[in-house]
């Protein structure tokens, strides 16, 4: 049984909810799934105040006391995660953006390796594809294995053709998501992801132990490892990795 959680950035049970319901129906055709809907509007999440305490000292020192950890537990206890949002003025809804801001420390200290991620954007006419890219980038930087999501038009009244298109798009992304869920080997990082890892660790290595990021990387063994998780790299990526380490150290010297 796989546990899937959909985090929803719309306060209504309308288009975004319907798109997720479609996704859930499709997904359940492939295997045993326990599917949970998390409407962000039903949780208390204050706006980030920008104190950076979560980055520097650790997330437990955040001065805001609200439902952040309830949501974190839901992320942690899922095998697969979906971020679903309507397009609001060419971006995710403010609720969803606030959810990301409150978890921005996880971008420094990613932890969702081995979990699969996808995104769904609903919109009237325009702008959603860039939002989808943004959400996929969020998923990757949080450590998830990302499968291609979907951006669907829900402009009302929807005719039969539009309904069909929506169903097709959702079916495709649910199939890819399921394949991601059952895959047995972790994905090999692309050159770009390898570069991000090696360069961020170089910059974190130039900090001292009083910074929580440094402590976290040290504890995880990331200052010595090839990547965030155990993976064997082909020689050309090994060499590229050494080059990225060097580049990261050089850039650190110019600070
Ligand atoms: C405040 C607001 C801003 C919106 N901005 C856009 C937009 O920039 N582009 C677009 O195509 N649709 C836009 N829409 C339309 C919604 O993205 C679309 O209706 C969506 O499917 C609504 O999802 P929901 O039914 O789950 O609330 C906007 C809707 C609202 C309420």
* Tokens read off for 30: 């492939």
Element (H, E) at 193: helix 191-205
Could you tell me if 249 and 196 lie in one domain? yes
Task: State in Å: Cα 12 to ligand 1 middle.
Answer: 11
Among residues 165, 182, 199, the one where a domain terminates is 182
Q: Which domain holds residue 202?
A: 191-253
One DSSP character per residue, 59-87 reads: GGG-S--SSHHHHHHHHHT-SEEEEEEE-
Could you tell me if 156 and 209 lie in one domain? no
Which residue has 């294995």 as its token pair? 145
pLDDT for 95: 98
Does residue 37 sit in helix, strand or coil?
strand
Which tens digit of pLDDT belongs to each residue from 190-249? Answer: 999 999 999 999 989 888 888 999 999 999 999 999 999 999 999 999 999 999 998 888
pLDDT for 91: 98
Number of folded domains in the chain?
A: 2
Could you tell me if 80 and 164 lie in one domain? yes
Q: Give the residue, by CA position, lying nearest to ligand 1 atom 2.
A: 88
Could you tell me if 55 and 83 lie in one domain? yes
CATH number at residue 13: 3.40.50.360
Could you tell me if 47 and 152 lie in one domain? yes
Could you tell me if 38 and 124 lie in one domain? yes
Distance CA 52, CA 66 (A): 17
pLDDT for 146: 97
**CB-defined site of ligand 1, < 6 Å:** 10, 12, 14-16, 86-90, 122-127, 154
Q: Give the residue, by CA position, lying nearest to ligand 1 atom 3.
A: 88
Peptide bond into 192 cis (omega under 30): no
Among residues 137, 153, 182, the one where a domain terminates is 182
Could you tell me if 208 and 133 lie in one domain? no
What are residue 81's DSSP bridge partners? Answer: 5, 117
CA-based radius of gyration for the chain: 19
| Pairing mode, strands 150-153 and 145-146 | unpaired
pLDDT under 70: residue ranges of the chain: 252-255
Among residues 127, 160, 182, the one where a domain terminates is 182
Could you tell me if 227 and 175 lie in one domain? no
pLDDT for 255: 52
| Burial class of residue 20 in the structure, from the number of CB atoms within 10 Å of its CB (0-12 exposed, 13-18 middle, 19+ buried) | buried
Could you tell me if 28 and 142 lie in one domain? yes
CA distances (Å), 181 to each of 31, 39, 75, in order?
A: 10, 23, 15
Q: Which of 143, 135, 154 is nearest to 96 (CA)?
A: 135
Could you tell me if 199 and 178 lie in one domain? no
Q: Give the residue, by CA position, lying nearest to ligand 1 atom 16.
A: 123
89 conformational bin, left if phi > 0, alpha if psi -120 to 50, beta if neither: left
One DSSP character per residue, 92-155 reads: --HHHHHHHHHTTHHHHS---TT-EEEEEEEESSSSHHHHHHHHHHHHHHTT-EE---EEEE-P
Could you tell me if 20 and 121 lie in one domain? yes
Could you tell me if 169 and 92 lie in one domain? yes
Distance CA 5, CA 81 (A): 5
Distance CA 205, CA 215 (A): 10
* Tokens read off for 232: 């064997």
Task: State in Å: Cα 124 to ligand 1 middle.
Answer: 6
Distance CA 150, CA 140 (A): 16
């Amino acid at each position: 049984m796989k546990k899937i959680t959909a985090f929803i950035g719309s306060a209504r049970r309308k288009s975004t909810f319907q798109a997720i319901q479609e996704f859930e129906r499709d997904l359940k055709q492939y295997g045993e799934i326990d599917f949970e809907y998390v409407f962000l509007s039903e949780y208390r999440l204050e706006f980030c105040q920008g104190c950076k305490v979560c980055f520097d000292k650790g997330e437990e020192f955040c001065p805001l006391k609200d439902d952040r950890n309830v949501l974190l537990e839901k992320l942690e206890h899922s095998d697969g995660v979906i971020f679903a949002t309507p397009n609001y003025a060419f971006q995710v809804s403010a609720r969803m953006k606030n959810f990301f801001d409150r978890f921005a420390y996880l971008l420094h200290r990613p932890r969702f390796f081995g979990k699969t991620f996808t995104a769904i954007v609903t919109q009237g006419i325009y702008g959603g594809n860039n939002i989808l890219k943004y959400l996929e980038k969020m998923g990757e930087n949080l450590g998830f294995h990302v499968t291609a999501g979907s951006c669907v038009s829900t402009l009302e009244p929807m005719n039969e053709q539009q309904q069909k298109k929506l169903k097709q798009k959702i079916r495709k992304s649910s199939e890819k998501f399921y394949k991601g869920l059952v895959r047995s080997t972790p994905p090999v990082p692309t050159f770009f992801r390898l570069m991000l890892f090696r360069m961020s660790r170089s910059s974190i290595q130039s900090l001292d132990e009083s910074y929580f990021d440094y402590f976290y990387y040290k504890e995880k063994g990331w200052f010595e490892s090839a990547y965030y998780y155990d993976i064997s790299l082909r020689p050309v990526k090994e060499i590229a990795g050494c080059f990225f380490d060097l580049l990261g150290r050089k850039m650190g010297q110019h600070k």
